[in-house]
Amino acid sequence: MSKVWFVGAGPGDPDLITVKGRDLIARADAILFAGSLVSEAATRWARDDCVIADSKGMTLEEIVAWLIEQAEADKTVIRLQTGDPGLYGALIEMVQPLDAAGIDIGVVPGVSSAMASAAAGVESLTLPEVTQTVILTRIEGRTPMPEGESIEELAVHHCTLCLFLSISLLKKVQQALLDAGWSPEAPVLVVHKASWPGEEKIIRGTISDIRDKCKQEKINSQAMIIASPTLGARQWPELKRSKLYDASFSHRFRKGVKAAP
């Protein structure tokens, strides 16, 4: 039976695809990749006779029609998506018509650009007693935000915010964070093309100066904005340590020892 696989290609570095994703590519009969972000290098493991196409100029209907056409008897078809297919990837819009056509579906998760951006900056998105929460969101653009999900409302938690699809609206992001009570000096990290070999750019700034810094570097697309009270912790002189590795903390795999009085 044919199957269409939605495979997360990862954030850009072809080596960041999962082993399962790579193995599927190696046996795929057809691959449709999202040209604007997924590097063609991700198709480097495809068979010579694999049909490979770029969806850059296609509408959703054309994408679905291509996938259905390729998914003839016993074919393995891949829709290769940037990062993780379940984040801003129009996954369900594609899955529904394939379901209606009776085609079997599978999803292989991918390394999201949010994770790759944190890794690029050697940052932890959570820290004990600083924040234990990460919000993956975006600023309102042409896609409206559901009620209660404006950045102002989400930012009142003062947790980590990873903002997709928002770099061209950095001014609105700045204002939203300030309106939510963040200090103008609060750190912000912007990573452009996280993990792309030779193309990654890391910009560190504060809410007040990050826009100018991004302008200077001409960054206005393909960038992740991370605002978080954890940023820069690598340089902090004192850290609250994770309980998991604390000598006095018992858990399933280790018995804690009482600290000497």
Shortest gap between Cβ of 128 and ligand SAH (angstroms)?
A: 26
Rounded Cα distance between 15 and 232, Å, is: 27
Q: Which is nearer to ligand SAH, 8 or 187 (CB)?
A: 8
Bridge partners of 4? 77, 105
Cα within 13 Å of Cα(76), Cβ side:
16
Residues 168-207 interacting with ligand SAH (rule: CB under 6 A): 191, 193-196
Q: Do 63 and 105 touch, CB atoms closer than 8 A?
A: no
Asked whether position 117 contacts ligand SAH by CB under 6 A, the answer is: yes
Closer by beta carbon to ligand SAH, 2 or else 16 = 16
User: Nearer Cβ to ligand SAH, position 17 or 116?
Assistant: 116
CA distance 80 to 22: 11
Using an 8 Å Cβ cutoff, are 80 and 7 in contact?
yes
In the complex, the smallest distance separating the C-beta of residue 114 from ligand SAH, rounded to whole angstroms, is: 6
Q: Report which of 165, 176, 167, 174 is spatially closest to residue 137, judged by C-alpha positions.
A: 165
Is residue 123 involved in binding ligand SAH (CB under 6 A)?
no
Residue closest to ligand SAH when measured from CB atoms: 83
What lies within 8 Å, CB to CB, of 246 at 6+ separation is 256
Site residues for ligand SAH, window 65-94 (CB under 6 A)? 82-84, 87-89
Query: Per rule CB under 6 A, is residue 16 in the interface with ligand SAH?
Result: no
Residue numbers of the site for ligand SAH (CB under 6 A)? 11-12, 37, 82-84, 87-89, 112-113, 116-117, 164-165, 191, 193-196, 222-224
